[in-house]
Structure 1
Amino acid sequence: MLRQFSLGTLGITVGGILTIMGFVAYAADYATLNLVGFFYGIPLLLGGFALKANELKPVPFTEPPTPSVLALREQQATNTQKEIRRDITQYSYGQDAHLDKALSFLGLSPTDEERPLITGFRETEINGAYALILEFDSPMIPIDIWEQKLDKMTKFFGPGVEVKVTQTAEDELELTLISTCK
């Protein structure tokens, strides 16, 4: 729950309030409130700015899941699918992109400039199975390289997951993780 909102925004808000309170207390000659504002407000404000500068926002749904898909997720989703979904739907700090380490391990991110970026995701049902579909903007890594990595991706995201790659536009593709745990 802690990562469902921006810690940077929280730090900036609380730090800003305490800092302003410290300046007002200084002007009104309230020494105790002045110290609270300066000793707690300014560090919180600076910490909030630092977090905000290094913040990775959650990936948006491109299509909200239906109640039947939510029930299917509860029944069939693998631990890997749950972990990926949890990772991409929360604020993150200290990462360059969502799933950056996984993409590097799979050989799909040789450099930061070439790394595919997740632009959205959706959950659906495919032949009675729960599927998590990750939508990527991949201008530097063509579909044929993704297809060459299918076996490695199946082993990486498995067991219990079938992996498919589909090109949807010139530089866009979808990575589909289908649960085989029916």
Structure 2
Amino acid sequence: MFRKISLGSLGLTVGSILTVIGFIAYATGNATLNLAGLFYGVPILLGGLALKAAELKPTPYSVPTSPEIISLREQQATSTQNQLRQDVTRFRYGQEAHLDESLEKIGLSPTDEERPELIGLRETATDGAYTLILEFASPFISLEQWQNKQEKIEKFFGPNIKAKITQSEEQFIDLALIKQN
């Protein structure tokens, strides 16, 4: 639940409230509340602004996950699949894009401008195996370049992961991470 809360928005809200209370207390001559409001409110407000500026929003699910797939995930998902799903579906701070470092290590991010962008994810079953599908907008990296990195992707996200790379539409790549026994 807390993964879905923006710390930047929380800091802005709390900091704004405390700062306003501090100014009102100053105007009414309440020195104690004035100090508490201003000395806590302004730094929290500035911290909220800084977090908001460095915020990376969670990646949305393109298709809601059914209860059957959730049950399959609980039984079969690897720790890497779970960590990956949890990381991209929460607010992140100080990163350019989701999976930017991973794509760089795999060799699919020659520059920041050419880096594929994670735009969605979905969970499904492939021949009875839990599958996490990452959906990328990839206008600068072709399907062939992705397929040339398939073995490296499997090693990076493995063990017990098989990668299947497909092109859903022109300039859009689906990377399916399938649980293997």
| Paired residues for 1:47-126 under 5 Å | 47-126=47-126
> Does structure 2 retain, via aligned residues, the 8 Å contact 1:22–1:37?
yes
If the length of structure 2 is used for normalisation, what is the TM-score?
A: 0.98
1:141 and 1:54 map into 2 onto residues whose CA distance is 26
2:129 and 2:41 map into 1 onto residues whose CA distance is 51
Which residue identity does 2:79 align to in structure 1? Answer: N
If the length of structure 1 is used for normalisation, what is the TM-score?
A: 0.98
Counterpart for residue 13 of structure 1: 13
**The residue matched to 1:61 in structure 2 has which SS?**
coil
1:30 and 1:112 map into 2 onto residues whose CA distance is 52
RMSD: 0.8
Counterpart for residue 128 of structure 1: 128
1:96 and 1:177 map into 2 onto residues whose CA distance is 23
Which residue identity does 1:114 align to in structure 2? Answer: E
Pairs aligned (count): 181
**The residue matched to 1:60 in structure 2 has which SS?**
coil
Counterpart for residue 44 of structure 2: 44
1:166 and 1:5 map into 2 onto residues whose CA distance is 33
Counterpart for residue 139 of structure 2: 139
1:135 and 1:15 map into 2 onto residues whose CA distance is 37
2:39 and 2:22 map into 1 onto residues whose CA distance is 9
**Runs of 5+ in structure 1 lacking a partner?**
none
* Alignment deviations for residues 115-160 of structure 1 (CA, whole Å, 9 cap, x no partner): 1011000000110000000000001111111000001011111111
1:174 and 1:82 map into 2 onto residues whose CA distance is 18
Moved over 4 A (4+): none
> Does structure 2 retain, via aligned residues, the 8 Å contact 1:3–1:92?
no
Structure 1 residue 2, shift from structure 2 partner: 3.5
* Alignment deviations for residues 14-51 of structure 1 (CA, whole Å, 9 cap, x no partner): 00000000000000000011111111000000110110
> Does structure 2 retain, via aligned residues, the 8 Å contact 1:143–1:167?
yes
Identical counterparts, % of pairs: 57
Structure 1 residue 170, shift from structure 2 partner: 1.1
2:168 and 2:128 map into 1 onto residues whose CA distance is 23
